[in-house]
Chains A and B, each alone.
Chain A
Amino acid sequence: MDTSTPPVKCTACNQPMRSPVFCQNCRAINPVQPGTDYFAIFSLPRRYALDEKELHRRFLNITREIHPDRFATSAQETVNLTTRLAAQINDAYNVLKDPMLRAEYLLQQAGGKRASEDKSVPGDSLTRNMELREQIEEAQASGDDQALEQCRRLVAEMHREAHQAVASLAERVADQPQEEQLTELRAHLNAVKYVRNLQELLP
């Protein structure tokens, strides 16, 4: 299946555009309509796996053209338009460059629930999490460095597992989402948050 987005036409010159915001042909700025797909903004396929360097390169290329500093002496309206546009591009970039926010975005786009609506976590992860938290607190209380090191390894392991689970599920959700996968991805994203809380205990 072709996951790339169909070419968008420039509102000013009606030529197909490589980027949905900036027309290479007539240099017109096209406002991003609310709900425009973040991947489409950077002309990237809607996939979880993503080359972060390439995303950054595309982000800079678009920003170079549409940043309000390029229009500082234009009419106030243009300055306002490009300011809003740059804020939207920044937002899209921030979401896509962060693997967890990217997975969350794909989940929301596919109609998945928000963290506030579904707080479940997969299988035994809650128990594991609580056990580990106790271990950390004990090790910290007794000042046992060896035990703390062991905790660190376990947390890192959990972190890796959670990320892997999110990655493979998010890839499927991006492709052909099924109800079951949405719930599962929600649970694994919640689990990542729990692991992060554990990491904060271990500076």
Chain B
Amino acid sequence: MSSENDTILGIDLGTTNSLVALADAAGPQIIRCAPDGSEDSGLVPSFVAFDPATGRITIGSAARAHAVENPLTTVFSVKRLMGKGVADLQDELHFLPYRVVRRHTDQEGRDLAAIEILGREYTPPEISAMILSELKARAEAHLGHAVRKAVITAPAYFDDAQRQATRDAGRIAGLEVLRIVNEPTAAALAYGLDRSENATLAVYDLGGGTFDVSILGVQDGVFEVLSTHGDTRLGGDDFDRCIISLVQAEVAEQFGLSIDSPAIKQQLRSFAESVKIRLGRDEAASLEIDLGQGRRYARTLTRGEFEQMITPLVERTIDSVQQALADAGLQPNQIDQIVMVGGSTRVPLVRRRVAQVFGREPYTALNPEEVVALGAAVQASILAGVKRDVLLLDVTPLSLGIETLGGAMGKLIMRNTRIPARATEMFTTFVDGQTNIKINVLQGERELAQDCRSLGEFELRGIPPMPAGLPKVQVTFLIDQNGILNVAACEERSAKEAGVQILPSHGLTAEEVQRMEEESYTFAREDMTAHRLIDLRNQVTFDTYKAEQALARVGDRLDQAERQNLEQAIAQLRQLAAESDDAERMYEELDRFGKMTLLLAEAAITASLKEGDG
């Protein structure tokens, strides 16, 4: 039996689609119940739309339905923006119909992408939080009680900023994120659950916007990740973009037209997606676009042409596979099973190349869209203590280090180190009486700090003033089981804990997350107000109709003045309901109206009694 306190959701927060799953004694299952209680596939398109007129927010299929109509206010693929700055997204922005800006509040050294909608900036975690809220609402409708805890999946190759952004999204949505689980690892868990044999697995996970490959050893219920590699900006979206670019180039060539208005971008996106899906089944697909004024773009795209366009992308995934195998110290023929995850693994070229590399057919019997959410639900049941015979041991995908003198990257924790992982490093001061030390913390494999990703500036504070070089500040870097970095510092001579102030380069501070969480409550309250208004208006319609009926039936029992009073009150209340958004006032007026009609109700009851007598 699950109750409010111990239910932990398993959530796949995807680039294209998101799902929520729950595990019980019978195993994990996708929740296919919409917030209104109706049944559906369980797949929630990762779309958030803002109504340009009212600002009302819709999420999922409803949001996607209006994407072409309202391209500037419909957000999709927000996962590609998580933990990123505008500078990181330059080659991406061209494909996004909505406006991506650098947050206005960002100071020097900080660049956080935000989406500007109807004059307001939303950070990617805030948009993701809306999708999470929708998933939470679905689970709550299914369970019939509130849920507060979740496991959320993230690509294995996500860096610290992207993981933190995912966790922040959960917090803003009012969820306690018990764990960030890597998507391929979650998939392996779902795959291997019914299988008792010990094996070595490769999980090839090509989603809408990200690619991961993980090599795992499974032994007596322990799923041990041996290595992982990937690309957090490579997925089915990029296959679509190949088609979009082709069409844009050919239209420009043939008609001298540049088709890149927001509405067309959005139209092209869904058009390209459907062409890609058709080419998965058929050898060719015909493309036709009406450009107006009798101009018509038409051509046939063969599967061969499409495959040629996406080959460089597919080869990038194959390079990652080779790297992961090398890091695990394994040959392709030592892999017992290849598990395919993510909708993009339906592309025939992808399956063919993976089969070639491993010299065997990959396992495709699982629904590639659902397996990650199912795995997340299994992990949730492990965390809840329900499932005790299984355990996941994961690794950190990227090396962690600090910028050393001369701008080099000094590695402290190597990539593919099992997590939790810890490293300590000593720091000292350069100036007499110096009380703080700044450290630039990096992630990546390159030699130079400037080629690695900066996680932010960590400032050690509160070092007791001493001559230069005398303080011994021991800094502990701990990558926890979520793959997220925690830093603590201690000055050894004084045994004084030093404060660590973090200014994330591409992320939110703890204070900002808290503020956003509070704001989302306000939104929820506003939402509640909207619901309440609807309820009140319905009540007005109902009450005034009842009063009218009663007047018609027994009005003659009241005196003229009273009747006129009531007729006037009905008209006034209807007008208020039609024109005002003031729920409080409407409630008070309804209350007053109720009292006014008491007399009428009495008259009606007396009348019915009399009628009954007769």
Q: Which residues of A contact B (CB under 8 A)?
A: 60, 63-64, 67-70, 72-73, 83-84, 86-88, 90-91, 93-94
Contact = CB atoms under 8 A, between A and B. Distances in A.
A70 B386 CA distance: 10
Given A64-B391, A68-B481, A72-B383, A83 B420 contact: yes
B138 interface: no
B6 interface: yes
B385 A90 contact: no
Contacts of B422: 84, 87-88, 91
Interface in B385-413: 385, 388, 391-393
Nearest to B382: A69
Interface in B478-533: 478, 480-481
A87 B421 contact: yes
Contacts of B178: 72-73
A91 B421 contact: yes
Contacts of A87: 419-422, 478
Interface string B526-564: 000000000000000000000000000000000000000
A94 B382 contact: no
Interface in B362-390: 379, 382-385, 388
Interface string B162-196: 00000000000000001100000000000000000
Given A69-B379, A83-B480, A90-B417, 9 more contacts: A69-B391, A69-B392, A72-B179, A73-B178, A83-B481, A84-B422, A86-B481, A87-B419, A87-B420
Given A64-B222, A64-B391, A90 B418 contact: yes
Contact of A70 (B6, B385, B418): B385
A63 B393 CA distance: 9
Nearest 4 A-B pairs (CB), nearest first? A72-B383, A87-B422, A87-B420, A90-B418
A91 B422 CA distance: 8
Contacts of A93: 418
A60 B383 contact: no
Contacts of A73: 6, 178, 383-385
Contacts of A88: 422
B219 interface: yes
Contacts of B421: 87, 90-91
Interface of B: 6, 178-179, 219-220, 222, 224, 379, 382-385, 388, 391-393, 417-422, 478, 480-481
B220 A60 contact: yes
Chain A contact residues: helix, strand, loop or mixed = helix
Nearest to B221: A64
Contacts of A68: 420, 480-481
A83 B481 CA distance: 7
B148 to A, nearest CB: 11
Contacts of B222: 60, 63-64
Contacts of B480: 68, 83
B6 to A, nearest CB: 7
User: For A63, A68, A73, A93, which residue has the most chain B Cβ atoms within 10 angstroms?
Assistant: A73
A29 to B, nearest CB: 14
Contacts, number: 60
Contact of A69 (B179, B224, B417): B179
B518 to A, nearest CB: 21
Contacts of A63: 222, 391, 393
Contacts of B385: 70, 72-73
Contacts of B393: 63, 67
A60 to B, nearest CB: 5
23 contacts: A60-B219, A60-B220, A60-B222, A60-B224, A63-B393, A64-B391, A68-B481, A69-B179, A69-B379, A69-B383, A70-B388, A72-B178, A72-B385, A73-B178, A73-B383, A73-B385, A84-B478, A86-B481, A87-B419, A87-B478, A91-B421, A91-B422, A94-B417
A64 B392 CA distance: 9
B420 A90 contact: yes
A63 B481 CA distance: 13
A84 B420 CA distance: 7
Contacts of B418: 90, 93-94
Nearest to A56: B219
Contacts of A91: 421-422
A88 to B, nearest CB: 7
Nearest to A86: B420
Nearest to A90: B418
Nearest to B149: A73
A85 to B, nearest CB: 9
Contacts of B388: 70
A84 B385 CA distance: 20
A73 B222 CA distance: 20
A93 B219 CA distance: 17
Contacts of A83: 420, 478, 480-481
Contacts of B420: 68, 83-84, 86-87, 90
User: For B220, B384, B420, which residue has the most chain A Cβ atoms within 10 angstroms?
Assistant: B420
A163 to B, nearest CB: 17
Contact of A90 (B382, B391, B419): B419
Nearest to A91: B422
Nearest to B422: A87
A60 B224 CA distance: 10
A157 B6 CA distance: 59
A158 B392 CA distance: 39
A91 B424 CA distance: 12
A98 to B, nearest CB: 12
A68 B384 CA distance: 12
A76 B478 CA distance: 16
Nearest to B222: A60
A91 B224 CA distance: 15
A188 B397 CA distance: 32
Nearest to B224: A60
A133 B591 CA distance: 94
A61 to B, nearest CB: 9
Nearest to B181: A69
Contacts of A86: 420, 481
A146 to B, nearest CB: 26
A27 B213 CA distance: 36
Nearest to A72: B383
Contacts of B219: 60
Contacts of B224: 60
A88 B478 CA distance: 10
Contacts of A60: 219-220, 222, 224
A67 B391 contact: yes
Contacts of A90: 417-421
B481 A69 contact: yes
User: For A70, A86, A88, A94, which residue has the most chain B Cβ atoms within 10 angstroms?
Assistant: A86
A64 B478 CA distance: 20
A94 B414 CA distance: 12
